[in-house]
A and B are shown apart, each in its own frame.
Chain A
Amino acid sequence: MIKAGQIEKGTALLIKGQPFVCIEREFVNPGKGSAFVRLKLKSPSTGQTLSETMKTQDNAEDIVVRDNDCQYLFNDGENFHFMLTETYEQIEVPMASFPDYQYIMKDGDTYRCTFWEEQILDIQIPSKVVFTVAEAEEAVKGDTVQGATKYVTTETGLKVRVPIFIKLGEKIRVNTETKEYLERVNN
C-alpha cells in the first residue's frame, strides 16, 4: 500500500483487481480544501484510460513490478512484438497501450520494460534518441531566413520539425517526450 500522494507517473496500481499505470498526475487543493491528486490511469492490456481523484492521504494498492530488458522485434499493426533478452521468450503488447511508440522505437533496439506478472506495464524510452532522416523536403535554394524550418520523417516514421539545413540521411537527436528536434548529430 502507498499513499495516493506518493503516486507518480509510471506508478503501477491495482484498481478493482486490474493493473493500471499512472500516466498523468496533478495535485489539486480545491478552494482551500484538502489536498487531492487527480490521476489519469491506463490499462496496459486494453489501453483503456480511467480518471481517479484521491485524497493524498488515501491508501492505494501499488503492485510489485520488475524490470527486464526486452528487444523490440517489430509491430504487426496491432501488437508490438518483444523478446526477453534473458530467456528469448516472445511477448506481445497491444499497440493501443503505447500510442506513438511505433514511431519512436527502433526494430532491434533493446528497451527496459516494466513487468507485472507476465504483462508489460511500461516501456522505458530514453528521453533523447538519435534518428536517421529517411525523408526530407529539399531546402529551397537561396532560402537563408534564420529560423526557417521544415518537416522530415525519420526511419521509424516520426515526423519532426527541423531547421532547414537538415538533409536526407543525416542523424538528428530528438526529445522523445515532446517530439522536438534538439540537434544534428555528426557522425
Chain B
Amino acid sequence: MRIDLPASIAPSIAPLRGFIHRAHRVHPMISTCQTSTTARIVMPMTKAFAIGSSRFNFQAAKQRSRLLKAMRSWFDSHGYLEVDTPLLSPDLIPEPTIHTFATTFSHEFLGSREFYLVPSPEVFMKKLLAAGSGSIYQFSHCFRNNEQIGSHHNPEFTMLEYYTLDADEQDSMALTEELLAATAPKNCPDHLLPPFRKMSMAAACHAYAGIDLEKNQDVRDLRRAALRLGLSLPEEPESWEDTFNRIFLTFVEPSLPQDKPLVLDKYPIQIECLAAEDETGPWRKRWEMYAGGVELANCYDEMRDAQKIRAYYRKEYAKLSTERSQNGAVIPDADLSFADIFTKDFPRCSGVAMGMDRLLMLQTGITSLKGVILFPFPAMLGDG
C-alpha cells in the first residue's frame, strides 16, 4: 500500500517516523520518503491482498452468477418476492451451538449498542411473513463465529432462504427438487439431481447403526446403546442430542447413500429448533438434505405456536447464557417479543435454508469452498 500525502500536510508524518523506524525493523518494506511536493508512506501489502489474479477462480464466479440468475428467475416465476434484510441485528434467535460475531453501534448522541452479524436471516424474514409478505426468498450472507475453517466451512457464507406459504416440509421437499432440477448447470453431476432419495432419521439410524430411536428416548438408554456400539463417551452426563450426534456422525452420516441427493426427515424431537412437532411420533417436521456426503439444506414446517416459541426462547437463552458465561463468548441479546408475531394470522409456511457455496462447490466438482468463494477466510487470515 502506498499513501501519497500533499506537501501541505507532509510535516505531519514526522511524528510517525519513530513508529515507522520501529516497524521497519519488523518489516523492512515499511518506509517513508519526503520530497518537496509529497510525503509517501509505503507499507507492505498483507498476504490477503497480495494475491495474484491467478488465485481467483473466475470460472466459479461465472457459475455462481449463472446459478443466482437461474434461481431468481425460478422463484420469480413461482410467485415469490425477493427480499433483502439486514445483516446487522440487535437480537438473534438463541441458538447455543451457533457462535456470534458482535460489533458495536456507536453514536455521539445516541450512545452505543451491541449488534450482531446474522447467522441466518430467519428473524427478519419471519417478521415479513407475519406482515403479509407472501412467499419470500433471499440470498443472504450469514456469519458464524468460532467455527472451524475447512473445506466445507467458512465463517461468512451465502445462504438461500425461502419460505413458502400454505406449505409443509413435504411440499418444500418437492419444491426443492423442482428448484434444483430447473436451475442445475448443463453438465451437473447426476448425484446432485432429483429425484431425491428419502429416508426418515429413525430408518437411517436403524439401517446404519442398528439403533431403534423410539426405544431409546431416554438419554440413559441411548448412552448404553452408544457404548455398546463401541463409542467413547465422556464420563459426565451429556444431552440426548449430543449422544445422538455421536452415533449419527460416526455410523449414520458416513454411510448415507450418495448416488442421489438424500433427504433425512422426521428429526428427533429432543433436537430443539423452531420446527413444528410431528403428530405421528417423537419427531419434528424437519428435514436435512445431503448431497455428495455434504449437508446442503435444512427445512422446517415452521412452528407457529407463540407459547412454544416463547418457551424455546427462554430455555435456549438460559442454556446459551450459562454456557457462554463460563467461556466468555458473546451472549447475543434475544428479543422475547419475537414470539408475539405468531398470532392466529401468522401464515402456515415452510422454510428452507440452503448453503449456496456448498451447492456451487458440488456442482462445479471443486473439493473445497475455497475454490468457489473469491475471498475465502483462510486467505484473509494470511494462511490460505
Question: Mask for B59-71, Cβ within 8 A of A = 1, else 0?
Answer: 0000000000000
What 0/1 pattern do residues 261 to 294 of B give for CB contact below 8 A with A?
0000001000101000000000000001000000
Q: 0/1 per residue, A25-65, Cβ < 8 Å to B?
A: 01111111111111000000000000111111011000000
B147 contacts A33, CB within 8 Å? no
- A31-B295, A53-B246, A54-B232 given. 6 additional CB < 8 A pairs? A16-B232, A26-B150, A30-B295, A35-B148, A36-B246, A38-B249
**Interface flag for B242 (CB, 8 Å):** yes
Residues of chain B lying within 8 A (CB to CB) of residue A52: 232, 250
B328 at the interface (CB under 8 A from A): no
Are A36 and B153 closer than 8 Å at their CB atoms? no
Assuming the contacts A5-B148, A53-B231, asked whether A30 and B298 have C-beta atoms less than 8 A apart, the reply is no
B249 touches A31 (CB 8 A): no
A30 touches B242 (CB 8 A): no
How far is the CB of B384 from the nearest CB of chain A, in Å?
16
A27 and B253 contacting across the interface, CB-CB below 8 Å: no
Q: A29-B147, A53-B246, A55-B242 are in contact. Are A34 and B97 (CB under 8 A)?
A: yes
Q: Is the beta-carbon distance between B250 and A27 smaller than 8 angstroms?
A: no
Least Cβ–Cβ distance between B371 and chain A, in angstroms: 16
Across the interface, do B245 and A32 meet the contact criterion of CB distance under 8 Å? no
Interface residues in B230-246 (C-beta closer than 8 Å to A): 231-232, 234, 238, 241-242, 245-246
State A53–B233 Cα separation when bound (angstroms).
10
Complex formed: what's the CA distance from A33 to B271 in Å? 8
Does B95 sit within 8 A of A, measured CB to CB? yes
Bits for A1-40, please: 1 = Cβ < 8 Å to B, else 0: 0000100000000011000000000111111111111100
Per the bound structure, the CA–CA distance linking A35 and B98 in Å amounts to 9
- Mask of B11-31 contacts with A, CB within 8 angstroms, 1/0: 000000000000000000000
Separation of A30 and B148 alpha carbons in the complex (Å) = 13
Which B residues lie at the A interface, using CB under 8 A?
95, 97-98, 146-148, 150, 153, 231-232, 234, 238, 241-242, 245-246, 248-250, 253-254, 267, 271, 273, 288, 295, 298
Chain A contact-residue range equals 20 to 34
Residue of B nearest to A56 (CB): B148
Q: Is the CB of B97 within 8 A of A33?
A: yes
| Residues in A whose Cβ lies below 8 Å from that of B245 | 30, 33-34, 36, 53
8 residue pairs of the A-B complex, CB under 8 angstroms, read A30-B245, A31-B288, A31-B298, A32-B273, A33-B241, A35-B147, A36-B245, A53-B250
Q: Are B153 and A15 in contact, with the CB atoms below 8 A?
A: no
Set of chain B residues within 8 Å of A59, measured between Cβ atoms: 234
Q: Which of B146, B231, B242, B249 has the most CB of A within 10 A?
A: B249
User: Which residue, A28, A33, A51, A59, has most C-beta atoms of chain B within 10 A?
Assistant: A33
Q: Return chain A residues, CB-CB under 8 Å to B249.
A: 28, 30, 36, 38, 53
Q: When the two chains form their complex, are residues B298 and A32 in contact, meaning their CB atoms are under 8 A apart? A: yes
Chain A residue contacts of B98, Cβ below 8 A: 32
Central interface residue in A26, A30, A51, by most chain B CB within 10 Å: A30
**Closest CB in chain A relative to B297 CB, distance in Å:** 11
Residues of A within 8 A of B147 (CB): 27, 29, 35
Distance A132 CA – B260 CA, assembled complex (angstroms): 45
Q: How far, in whole Å, are A68 and B254 apart by their CA atoms in the complex?
A: 37
Contact (Cβ within 8 A) B242 A34 = yes
- 5 closest A-B pairs by beta carbon, nearest first, are A27-B148, A53-B250, A53-B249, A34-B97, A53-B246
